Structure 1
Amino acid sequence: MIEVLANDRLGKKIAVKCLPEDTIGDLKKILSLQLGTSHEKLILKKGHQIYKDHITLDDYEVHDGFNFELYYG
């Protein structure tokens, strides 16, 4: 179990526990439940890289304490 953070830069910083085998799409669904926003509207970035829904956190080398930038599309 790892904990990742998502910061939307508007004052919301959400901590989520998930498994390394979870996909980015799974992470977005968990975030959408906490935010009350559709998971289809969420975009996760780090720098200029946009994370794609079908790839696992492990494949992206997301580790415990990883910090995502959260955008609304």
Structure 2
Amino acid sequence: MLPPQKLEQLARQLADNLPPGLKAGADEFEQKARTVLQSQLMKLDLVSREEFDRQTAVLAKTRAMVEQLEARLSQLEDK
């Protein structure tokens, strides 16, 4: 999930890029943009970097075990 600071930065950038005629409502737009961004990001199936790294390590360990088992099976089949 995006950290709150990043979400606020993104909402501020959207508000800063409004056309000149709409600058008066920039604060309201920024608040609504932040709310919409947050609700849409919550709908995504995201994991944290820590969880991703943990699962990557588990996968690497599992892959190594499968390779060992395949090698062992190959040796047994050769006998």
TM-score, with structure 2 as normaliser? 0.27
Greater helix percent: which structure?
2
Scaled by the length of structure 1, what TM-score is found?
0.29
Specify which structure has the higher proportion of strand. Answer: 1
Q: Which has the larger radius of gyration?
A: 2
Q: Which has the higher contact order (CA 8 A, sep 6+)?
A: 1
